[in-house]
Structure 1
Amino acid sequence: MTTTDTAAVATTPVRRRARADADGPTDIRRYQPLARAGLITALAVLAVLWLTPLVWALLTSLKHEADTTTVPLEVVPDRGFTLQAYVSVLANGNLVTWFVNSTVVAVVATVLTVALSAAAAYGFSRTRFRGRNALFALTVAGIMVPPQILIVPLYRQMLALGLADTYAGIILPQLVVPAMVFILKKFFDAIPHELEEAARMDGAGSLRIFLQIVLPLSRSILAAVAIFVFIHAWNNFLWPFIITSDPGLMTLPVGLVQVQSAFGVRYAQVMASAILAGLPLIVVFMLFQRQIIRGVATTGLGGT
């Protein structure tokens, strides 16, 4: 075998690999439209499955009460749609009172939870003290504790303090959220220490640094945490149901159960109440969807 033949044999695998590398991206690009179409189809199917119960609840709330139990079920009843269920719920029930109660509880719980969580997270992030790591680990371990386990001791504590059937009794047990402390602490860890050191050189104290430097730099994560806390407080059913018996202090999730038991099974009115109760959350999501998506995208990225 001559030198030329040896060189040709040696370079043949290289040429094949180069040809394969050149053809590879082309093959990938060839399947990209199919993959995109499959992804869009899957997302569309999931969206339809998610929206179907919501659309059915809306249609049911717009029907006459007699049309909600017809067999077979009718999507569009012969008598058409009506707003009578909404009028009955607003006129005869305590929906407005329950709406106000839910608003007060959700707003106050959100403000206090964000304030307490941010202060605790900043302390864990910047303060050095003995047992800090153990205390933070204990706080994080609180995420794994099911809230149902704490119902009995919390209820006995609220009774001992005389806070049953009060706004304070509903709000106070909801203020401690270990997950929010963990999220904010990880975010505070990523803030450069040089900013605080420069502020200390100018005579700023820890409280001023926290309020005027750290919190303004954390507006995005604070907004995301506030939205998560608000949604949880608005939808919370178990604790308000246990701690309140006065209809004038019930929140919307608890009040909806009372609507069903008071009117029997009147599906149009129950669905109308549920639609009205869910409207504030829809408005919150539409107004702050960027913050929600940003919060979901960043909460799991510790130190980033």
Structure 2
Amino acid sequence: MPPAGPRRRRPPEAVGAPLLLGHGRLPRVLAGGALGIFALLWVLPFVWTLITSFQRERDISSPGFNPIKGALTLDAYRQVFDRGTLPIWAFNSILTAGLITLITIVLSTLAAYGFSRGTFRGRRALLAVTVASIMVPPQLLMVPLFQEMLAFNLVDTYWAIILPQVVAPMMVFILKRFFDAIPRELEEAARIDGASDLRVFWSIVLPLSRPIVSAVSVFVFIGAWNNFMWPFIITSDTDLMTLPVGLATVEDAYGVAYAQSMAAAVLAAAPLIIVFLFFQRRIVKSVATTGLGGS
């Protein structure tokens, strides 16, 4: 028998190479096909909503599987703008979501830095309570929060919408995880130069935390923008309604109109899509650097 030749070694995987189902072309094709199917399942409802919003009501109700059943028109968008005070609701959503995001970031970063670097008594117990509060369903807090706003005479005000939403235990935990990974030597060097704790936090910690702060800001903004239950409970004045609440009242007042409902959904989702497109890289980077993706 001829002597066996040297065994061919499998090339080592490059550092940072993507995790696939195996080596070769077939696993790559299978992985790409699976990802394409999942992407199609996510995009298809939005495409259907967008197409429906540009059609007339009588065309939508006609039978057939063709998604475009008539001439495309802007009638649904015109009717949504005419029948509701949409600019006021959009302004209310931008104002409340913006202030909620700003106040939440200030409170959450300070609290997370205190949990990460603080040595005060009861820190572990307070951190445990903060983490445990994540598991409390928000629906259980609706009645106590409403009674609190009623006691402070804040019902039907912007502050009634904003204040109960600025406490975000999950964001405190995420920021604390990131602050724990920042080398303490940088802060100690600044303190040797005479910097105070607030100066260290503002000049060293926050600049190093821009990716996670940006991601948390996007998460908070999206949650505040999409929040329907609390603004619906705490406001009855039409001029104080946010966009999700206002669009729901238009739908209830004028009956079910599919084209108008889809147009309202597109208008409500458009700002969130724009925000995500601008900050998607920082969101992915923050999840990767904090290790939350595999925790």
Superposed pair shares fold, TM > 0.5? yes
2:62–2:69 CA contact under 8 A, matched in 1: no
2:40 corresponds to which residue?
Answer: 48
**Structure 2, unaligned runs of 5 or more:** 13-19
1:170 corresponds to which residue?
Answer: 161
Structure 1 counterpart of 2:27, from 32, 35, 48 = 35
Which amino acid in the other structure matches residue 55 of structure 2? K
Is residue 283 of structure 2 the alignment partner of residue 254 of structure 1? no
1:63–1:82 CA contact under 8 A, matched in 2: yes
2:92–2:241 CA contact under 8 A, matched in 1: yes
Structure 2 counterpart of 1:104, from 95, 100, 116 = 95
Which amino acid in the other structure matches residue 233 of structure 1? A
Which amino acid in the other structure matches residue 287 of structure 2? V
Give the secondary structure class of the aligned counterpart of 1:265.
coil
Which amino acid in the other structure matches residue 291 of structure 1? R
Equivalence map 1:192-271=2 (5 Å): 192-271=183-262
1:6 corresponds to which residue?
Answer: none
Distance (Å, rounded) in 1 between the aligned partners of 2:205 and 2:238: 42
Distance (Å, rounded) in 2 between the aligned partners of 1:209 and 1:191: 12
Is residue 172 of structure 2 the alignment partner of residue 144 of structure 1? no
Q: What whole-Å deviation, never above 9, does each CA across 1:166-190 have from its counterpart, x for those lacking one? A: 1100011111111111111111112
Structure 2 counterpart of 1:65, from 57, 63, 68 = 57
Which consecutive segments of 4 or more residues in structure 1 shift more than 2 A? 22-26, 28-32, 71-74, 295-302
More helix by share: 1
Give the secondary structure class of the aligned counterpart of 2:119.
coil
Q: CA deviation at 1:31?
A: 4.9
- What's the TM-score, normalizing by structure 2? 0.90
Which amino acid in the other structure matches residue 280 of structure 2? Q
Q: What whole-Å deviation, never above 9, does each CA across 1:48-96 have from its counterpart, x for those lacking one? A: 1111111111111111121122233542224x11011111212331111
Which amino acid in the other structure matches residue 42 of structure 1? A
Q: What whole-Å deviation, never above 9, does each CA across 1:112-162 have from its counterpart, x for those lacking one? A: 001100000111111101111111111111111111111111111111111
Q: CA deviation at 1:293?
A: 1.2
> Please, what is the CA RMSD of the aligned residues?
2.4
2:16 corresponds to which residue?
Answer: none
2:80–2:86 CA contact under 8 A, matched in 1: yes
1:95–1:273 CA contact under 8 A, matched in 2: no
Q: CA deviation at 1:32?
A: 2.3
Is residue 284 of structure 2 the alignment partner of residue 293 of structure 1? yes
Structure 1 counterpart of 2:146, from 129, 150, 155 = 155
2:111 corresponds to which residue?
Answer: 120
Give the secondary structure class of the aligned counterpart of 1:50.
helix
Larger Rg: 1
Distance (Å, rounded) in 2 between the aligned partners of 1:281 and 1:262: 26
2:161–2:230 CA contact under 8 A, matched in 1: yes
2:142–2:230 CA contact under 8 A, matched in 1: yes
1:259–1:270 CA contact under 8 A, matched in 2: no
Structure 1 counterpart of 2:67, from 71, 75, 85 = 75
- What's the TM-score, normalizing by structure 1? 0.88
Identity of aligned residues (%): 57
Distance (Å, rounded) in 1 between the aligned partners of 2:118 and 2:207: 19
Q: 1:286 to 1:137 in 2, by over 3 A?
A: same
2:108–2:171 CA contact under 8 A, matched in 1: yes
**Structure 1, unaligned runs of 5 or more:** 1-11
Q: What whole-Å deviation, never above 9, does each CA across 1:95-115 have from its counterpart, x for those lacking one? A: 111111110111100010011
Distance (Å, rounded) in 1 between the aligned partners of 2:114 and 2:31: 44
1:9 corresponds to which residue?
Answer: none
1:4 corresponds to which residue?
Answer: none
Structure 1 counterpart of 2:267, from 276, 286, 290 = 276
1:57–1:275 CA contact under 8 A, matched in 2: yes
Q: 1:165 to 1:195 in 2, by over 3 A?
A: same
Distance (Å, rounded) in 1 between the aligned partners of 2:23 and 2:287: 30
